[in-house]
């Protein structure tokens, strides 16, 4: 009995490593965290959010569940970390489009749509995380910032094309364009590879067909200068 008491006393005094959100990690720890996120991305991409478990992520990463919990307390935290990372990466890619302003309005809009679609094709797990995962407050803010980057790009291009267009009106049209993009993206993500090209073209056409009348009608409504004014 004394032997068991002695063993229990030792076990009670053993340090147990648990998740600490304020822990500062060294380069090796940061690398391990990124490896765990890559493994999680692969599992989320295969199984979707709801069917994924922390055990499946640990197995994919080749670590024990206990090692996984040193970095993330649960599946929700892993999903939020991935969603935030992807949202920031995609927003940066959007903001990097045509910084010199050499593209025409149509070319710039198509480039924005293609950049967004390309990112979602490369990261199919991003969509399931955004749609299905209970994201943290920080992750939801990053998701909102991503949508705002899309709207800001559209707003800037519309006002460059139509300097008289108010910022609020341009932002409204940018928001509608984002809604069109998200609506078709839901279908695009689940579509077969054979059907995707047509859906991608449909997305470009739908957004451009919505925006083109805004430009042409606004330009047509502008007062024309008289000959005397032109002189």
pLDDT < 70: residue spans in the chain: 1-26, 218-231
Identify the pLDDT of residue 217. 75
DSSP state of 124: H
Q: For 181-216, what is each residue's pLDDT tens digit? A: 999 998 888 888 899 999 999 999 999 999 999 888
Phi (first) and psi of residue 91, to 5 degrees = -65, -40
End-to-end Cα, the chain, rounded Å: 109
Tokens in use for 205?
A: 């056409």
pLDDT at 2: 46
Tally of CA atoms within 13 A in the half-sphere of 2 that contains its CB: 0
Return the domain boundaries, the chain: 14-73, 79-221
| Assigned fold of 79-221 | Tetracycline Repressor; domain 2 (1.10.357)
Taking only the tens place, the pLDDT of each residue in 104-130 is 999 999 999 999 999 998 998 999 999
SS3 category, 70? coil
pLDDT score for 5: 43
Fold of the CATH domain 14-73: Arc Repressor Mutant, subunit A (1.10.10)
The two tokens of residue 71 are 């970095």
Give 224's DSSP letter. Answer: P
**Contact, 149 vs 87, CB < 8 A?**
no
What is the pLDDT at residue 14? 38
Rg (CA), the chain: 25
Query: In whole angstroms, what is the distance from residue 121 CA to residue 119 CA?
Result: 5
């Amino acid at each position: 009995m004394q032997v068991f008491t002695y063993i229990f006393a030792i076990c009670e005094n053993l340090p147990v490593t648990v998740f600490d959100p304020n822990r500062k990690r060294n380069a090796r720890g940061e690398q391990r965290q990124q490896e765990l996120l890559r493994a999680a991305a692969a599992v989320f991409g295969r199984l979707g959010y709801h069917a994924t478990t922390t055990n499946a992520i640990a197995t994919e990463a080749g670590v024990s569940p206990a090692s996984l919990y040193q970095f993330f307390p649960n599946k929700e935290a892993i999903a939020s970390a991935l969603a935030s990372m992807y949202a920031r990466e995609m927003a940066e890619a959007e903001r990097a489009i045509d910084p010199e302003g050499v593209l025409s309005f149509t070319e710039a809009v198509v480039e924005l749509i293609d950049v967004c679609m390309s990112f979602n094709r490369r990261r199919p797990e991003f969509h399931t995380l955004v749609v299905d995962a209970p994201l943290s407050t920080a992750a939801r803010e990053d998701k909102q910032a991503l949508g705002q980057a899309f709207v800001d790009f559209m707003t800037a291009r519309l006002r460059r094309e139509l300097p008289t267009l108010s910022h609020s009106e341009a932002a409204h049209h940018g928001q509608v364009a984002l809604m069109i993009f998200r609506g078709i993206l839901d279908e695009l993500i689940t579509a077969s590879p054979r059907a995707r090209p047509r859906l991608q073209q449909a997305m470009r056409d739908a957004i451009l067909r919505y925006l083109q009348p805004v430009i042409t009608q606004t330009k047509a409504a502008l007062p024309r200068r008289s000959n005397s004014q032109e002189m």
